[in-house]
Chains A and B, each alone.
Chain A
Amino acid sequence: MKEVFFFFFGLLSAVFALMAVLNRNLVKGGVSLLASFVSLAGVYFTVGAEFIGIVQVIVYGGAIIVLYLFALLTVDLKSMKAEPLRLSFLFAGGVLSGALFLIILYAGFFLEGSLSSNVSGASDLARPLFYRFLLPFEVVSVLLLVATIGAVAVARREE
């Protein structure tokens, strides 16, 4: 029973992700992305990682997609022109997504594991995060700070 839901939500997530990429209407693409994220949360729920599933919905559904859509609607979409497609872009994107695909494929075929997790509550996640992996965690937070400051700097230069 659990597996049925697992594969159902997984398939749903993939289908919506595809729709998000292929849809020409950006708002519809955003909503498809939201649906994809929520289905992914469903996948987390089916393997018992309810905390991660809920956080997935709050962070991606509640914050990021709202911000995207808000930003999309404040700009005039018709006046924006797409960047001309360059072969180098296509190549870089293809290599990156191909690599990611291979990694996931490898994980799917060779990493053995059961469809149940031991990270269900907040404390199960917090303990490794703040004790065992504290340094990587803090490094990542600095990385995010760099990205934020960089975004502000790039936005200000145009004035």
Chain B
Amino acid sequence: MSHNFLSLLFIVGLMLVAVPPITYLERKVLGHMQQRPGPMVVGPHGILQPLADAIKLIFKEDIIPKGADRLLFMIAPSFSVFAALLAASVVPIGFINAVPMKSALLFVMAMSAISIYALFLAGYSSNDKYSFLAGMRAAAQVLGYELPMGFALMGVVILFGSFDFREIVRWQELHGWGILYQPLAFLIFLIMMVAEVGRPPFDLPEGESELVGGFHTEYSGMRFAAFFFGEYINIIVLSLVVSLLFFGGWSGPFVDKFPVLGVIYQLLKAGFFVFLTFWLRATFPRYRFDQMLKIMWKVFLPLSILNLFIAALEAYVVG
């Protein structure tokens, strides 16, 4: 009981503490990829920038526009943070497993399904055309990515024979990393993960490069920040999931003797995928609405179903 509680505290704390440095890193990485220094003013190399951002966001006035649906407008950001933190609670990091659950992978999927309501309701309740359209784009994006993502995960689950992350890692310790068996599922899941957290090239709900932002146009202060807290926590959680499903999670040399090494391995593996989302953001332009739906439904959905057959064959041969 107390071990679980400490783990929960650790994971929630980690998620909340990790977000500000990640925003700093993102801006630095983006900056250097675009041959500019990134934040440089606050502190040496701008290292205190997240702190300055936090202070700014906390002291900003919380504006609720006239004609907005007050209740929905106020609760919309909480969907984002709550769902992301709940998803984080079932994901094990090394020996730290806050809520051991048989169907943990599915639980992560369910919470990601819930988190989309944040964007959708924000768009609807703002009483603003730009927000509204962005909310529609968010809903359409869910309808796009959810099926390929589900099918890609089904392939993995058929191979591993379990929804439980501990079982999945144990399987990989015996047979080798999941990516060796399911490269197609890995690729599809990675792309769908980017679509799910709404990062470029699939940042349709947000539309950051446009003159008017997306669903969060009318938000300010901490409510605005809550969306991005949720988004970054989601990135971390899904990166952890990728590391667990395809890269052996906490497995690695000397983990038997020093369990702490497992935590470090896993965080490094997941960290690479967090970095990858920055990289994609610096590299790709955004897909148009219809292009996004077209590739989701006409390319990735058939591929992910094909992958299901491959997985079944592999499970038959290996298991």
The answer to whether B143 and A31 have CB atoms under 8 Å apart is: no
Least CB distance, B192 to chain A, in whole angstroms: 14
Cα of A73 to Cα of B134 in the assembled complex, Å: 12
Q: Which of A28, A57, A70 is in CB contact (< 8 Å) with B72? A: A28
**B142-159 CB contact bits vs A (8 Å, 1 = yes)?**
110010000000000000
The answer to whether A58 and B124 have CB atoms under 8 Å apart is: no
Q: Is B116 in the interface zone, CB < 8 Å from A?
A: yes
Q: Is A114 in the interface zone, CB < 8 Å from B?
A: no
The answer to whether A55 and B106 have CB atoms under 8 Å apart is: yes
List B contacts of A28 (CB < 8 A): 69, 71-72
The answer to whether A62 and B146 have CB atoms under 8 Å apart is: yes
Closest to A124 in B: B102
Contact A61 B113, CB 8 Å, known A73-B124, A73-B136: yes
Q: Is A54 in the interface zone, CB < 8 Å from B?
A: yes
Contact A120 B146, CB 8 Å, known A27-B124, A62-B110, A73-B124: no
Q: Is B25 in the interface zone, CB < 8 Å from A?
A: no
List B contacts of A50 (CB < 8 A): 101-103, 107
List A contacts of B69 (CB < 8 A): 25, 27-28
List A contacts of B262 (CB < 8 A): none
The answer to whether A61 and B107 have CB atoms under 8 Å apart is: no
Least CB distance, A107 to chain B, in whole angstroms: 26
Cα of A66 to Cα of B114 in the assembled complex, Å: 10
The answer to whether A31 and B102 have CB atoms under 8 Å apart is: no
Classify chain B: how many residues form its interface, as a range. Answer: 20 to 34
Contact A58 B109, CB 8 Å, known A31-B121, A122-B163: yes
Binding site of A, secondary structure by majority: helix, strand, loop or mixed? helix
Contact A62 B113, CB 8 Å, known A27-B72, A50-B102, A121-B102: yes
The answer to whether B113 and A51 have CB atoms under 8 Å apart is: no
Q: Which of A31, A67, A121 is in CB contact (< 8 Å) with B103? A: A121
Cα of A57 to Cα of B116 in the assembled complex, Å: 13
Q: Is B120 in the interface zone, CB < 8 Å from A?
A: yes
Closest to B121 in A: A31
**B79-113 CB contact bits vs A (8 Å, 1 = yes)?**
00000000000000000000001110011011111
Least CB distance, A51 to chain B, in whole angstroms: 5
**A23-58 CB contact bits vs B (8 Å, 1 = yes)?**
001011001001000100000000000110011011
Cα of A153 to Cα of B140 in the assembled complex, Å: 23
Least CB distance, A25 to chain B, in whole angstroms: 8
Cα of A54 to Cα of B114 in the assembled complex, Å: 11
Q: Is A139 in the interface zone, CB < 8 Å from B?
A: no
Q: Which of A57, A73, A74, A122 is in CB contact (< 8 Å) with B113? A: A57
Q: Is B139 in the interface zone, CB < 8 Å from A?
A: yes
Contact A58 B110, CB 8 Å, known A31-B72, A66-B116, A70-B143: yes
Q: Is B24 in the interface zone, CB < 8 Å from A?
A: no
Q: Is B135 in the interface zone, CB < 8 Å from A?
A: yes
Closest to B147 in A: A63
The answer to whether B163 and A63 have CB atoms under 8 Å apart is: no
Least CB distance, B197 to chain A, in whole angstroms: 15
The answer to whether B132 and A54 have CB atoms under 8 Å apart is: no
Contact A54 B103, CB 8 Å, known A73-B132, A74-B136: yes
Q: Is A15 in the interface zone, CB < 8 Å from B?
A: no
List A contacts of B114 (CB < 8 A): 38, 57, 61-62
Q: Is B117 in the interface zone, CB < 8 Å from A?
A: yes
Cα of A73 to Cα of B113 in the assembled complex, Å: 19
In residues 50-93 of chain A, which contact B (Cβ within 8 Å)? Answer: 50-51, 54-55, 57-58, 61-63, 66-67, 69-70, 73-74
Least CB distance, B96 to chain A, in whole angstroms: 21
Cα of A62 to Cα of B111 in the assembled complex, Å: 9
B: which residues have CB within 8 A of A?
Answer: 69, 71-72, 101-103, 106-107, 109-114, 116-117, 120-121, 124, 132, 135-136, 139-140, 142-143, 146, 163
Listed from nearest, the 10 A-B pairs whose CB atoms lie closest are A62-B113, A57-B110, A70-B139, A121-B102, A54-B106, A58-B110, A54-B110, A51-B103, A54-B107, A54-B103
**Can you sample 8 A-B contacts with CB below 8 Å?**
A27-B72, A31-B117, A54-B109, A58-B110, A62-B113, A62-B142, A66-B113, A66-B143
